[in-house]
Chains A and B, each alone.
Chain A
């Protein structure tokens, strides 16, 4: 009986949080179009999230391209299909690996950052201070951050894809004597708009999810400094799960249309 009750409580709590988060997202869209726009803060956040994540995302992308090609190369050679490596690598990177890995890394870097920053602002009453000075902390803190992640993640993904393909090319070039021209001819020959467009569109949702969950967890952070850690942690965990769910939905939707 008590087990039933606790699980009921968990479910209710979960539903409550889903509802709150939806309301939070709704508020984001309402505030998004209301003046004044915090454009300077938006640029600052874009810079922090975009430029400052580029190194991390780039290195990861490069290594993934490299390792992915190195790992699949022997098997493809066995099959006598080494000519297919460029097209195989490009499709898997552009469709899936690039977006999801970049988004996960950004969930770790940006999502936790937002969660911790807003969380500590909440517990040190900075958000309250903004509110009592008659300014709109939601607009200044949340709208700019969610917008920044939504805009920057797709760009990071594109760059990560490009760098990963370059890493893959390096392996092909050194091990298989494949020219730059041939490699990228193969890549673009095998790529289709079906690969490119949906996977780019879904990264906007990934970015939105990262910003939304991070901001939500930070903005409603409770229980002092310990709560800040919890907020950052929950933000990463929930974002990662949400990313996979979104990815799954994206794949299904893509399948319907193509």
Chain B
């Protein structure tokens, strides 16, 4: 009921129906449904090993799912060509849990790497510095442009990774545990940054986390992933008020 009120009149950019993923006999995902609407921030919570990361990797095509359909911006992911997939991937940013910066390259090269390989979308640059600087400024790290990843702290790495995602101007950003492994203060900074990026670039986001504070602060809507299905959906307030013991387990810890 309330779900309708939040999502009413909005276009779904990602639609997942009946997603199943097996690792041998282990059913990680068992019929997961999800919609992401334009401009919203969706937080997906779940325990470790509940299949959150697997779901998001299936979404971007890093893992292949066994059953179900995934539709991103009107395109069915089951039958896209490699070129089409790469085109979709420029529209969908992905922020890895461990930042995944290319550690043999400087920050600048990290950011230039995707930029120079999407000439058809981004155009050809003789000097990409303005764009790189713009992306770094939006995460507050313009001064770190010529550093190597090993010279950066964990929080800075996340920010650079975010800048690297932003440089392709994606319409959707997927965050895989953005605050995990960071101290509370840095976590807060990252969450604030995500919020500001969200407003600045008008992106839709899916955030995978088990950080309740993060979820409370940033979410428009939440999905609880339990036993491989979307167990509960709603705003943070709605779910926090739920009496379901499995839902309560997330909030009363």
Query: A117-140 toward B: CB 8 Å interface, digit per residue (1/0)?
Result: 100010011101111111110000
Q: In the complex, how many residue pairs between chain A and chain B have their CB atoms under 8 Å apart?
A: 61
Q: Count the B residues whose beta carbon is within 8 Å of the partner chain — how many? A: 28
A-side contacts of B164, CB under 8 Å:
133
Q: Are A126 and B103 in contact (CB under 8 A)?
A: yes
- Report if A36 contacts B (CB, 8 A): yes
Q: Are B101 and A36 in contact (CB under 8 A)?
A: no
B-side contacts of A128, CB under 8 Å:
62, 96, 100
Q: Are A132 and B98 in contact (CB under 8 A)?
A: no
Query: B83-95 toward A: CB 8 Å interface, digit per residue (1/0)?
Result: 0011111101110
A135 to B86, CA, bound (A): 7
Q: Are B90 and A133 in contact (CB under 8 A)?
A: yes
- Report if B102 contacts A (CB, 8 A): yes
A128 to B63, CA, bound (A): 10
Contact of A125 among B85, B96, B118 (CB under 8 A): B96
A135 and B102 in contact, given A125-B96, A128-B62, A129-B94 (Cβ under 8 angstroms): no
A-side contacts of B168, CB under 8 Å:
133-134
Q: Which of A16-57 contact B (CB under 8 A)?
A: 36
Contact of B117 among A121, A129, A134 (CB under 8 A): A134
- Report if B113 contacts A (CB, 8 A): yes
A-side contacts of B161, CB under 8 Å:
129
**Residue among A36, A126, A132, A135 having the largest count of chain B Cβ atoms under 10 Å:** A132
- Report if B139 contacts A (CB, 8 A): no
Q: Are B100 and A131 in contact (CB under 8 A)?
A: no
Q: Are B100 and A134 in contact (CB under 8 A)?
A: no
A125 and B100 in contact, given A132-B62, A134-B117 (Cβ under 8 angstroms): yes
Q: Are B101 and A134 in contact (CB under 8 A)?
A: no
Which residue of chain B lies nearest to A40 when distances are taken between CB atoms in the complex? B116
Q: Are B90 and A134 in contact (CB under 8 A)?
A: yes
Which residue of chain A lies nearest to B91 when distances are taken between CB atoms in the complex? A134
A-side contacts of B101, CB under 8 Å:
126, 129
A133 to B85, CA, bound (A): 10
Contact of A133 among B97, B103, B114 (CB under 8 A): B114
B-side contacts of A135, CB under 8 Å:
86, 113-114, 117-118
A131 to B64, CA, bound (A): 14
B-side contacts of A130, CB under 8 Å:
102, 113
A3 to B90, CA, bound (A): 51
B-side contacts of A126, CB under 8 Å:
100-103
B-side contacts of A132, CB under 8 Å:
60-62, 89, 92, 94
Q: Are A133 and B96 in contact (CB under 8 A)?
A: no
In the assembled complex, how far is the CB of residue B93 from the closest CB belonging to chain A, in whole angstroms? 8
Q: Are A124 and B117 in contact (CB under 8 A)?
A: no
In the assembled complex, how far is the CB of residue A47 from the closest CB belonging to chain B, in whole angstroms? 13
A221 to B102, CA, bound (A): 17
Query: B147-174 toward A: CB 8 Å interface, digit per residue (1/0)?
Result: 0000000000000010011001000000
B-side contacts of A129, CB under 8 Å:
94, 96, 100-102, 161
B-side contacts of A121, CB under 8 Å:
102
A130 to B165, CA, bound (A): 11
Q: Are B114 and A134 in contact (CB under 8 A)?
A: yes
A-side contacts of B118, CB under 8 Å:
134-135
Q: Which of A132-190 contact B (CB under 8 A)?
A: 132-136
Q: Are A131 and B62 in contact (CB under 8 A)?
A: yes
A52 to B92, CA, bound (A): 39
Q: Are B89 and A124 in contact (CB under 8 A)?
A: no
Q: Please list the residues of chain A having a beta carbon within 8 angstroms of any beta carbon in chain B.
A: 36, 117, 121, 124-126, 128-136
Q: Can you pick out 24 interface pairs between chain A and chain B where the beta carbons lie within 8 Å of each other?
A: A117-B104, A124-B98, A124-B100, A125-B96, A125-B97, A126-B101, A126-B103, A128-B62, A128-B100, A129-B100, A130-B102, A130-B113, A132-B62, A132-B89, A132-B92, A133-B90, A133-B93, A133-B94, A133-B113, A134-B88, A134-B114, A134-B168, A135-B113, A136-B86
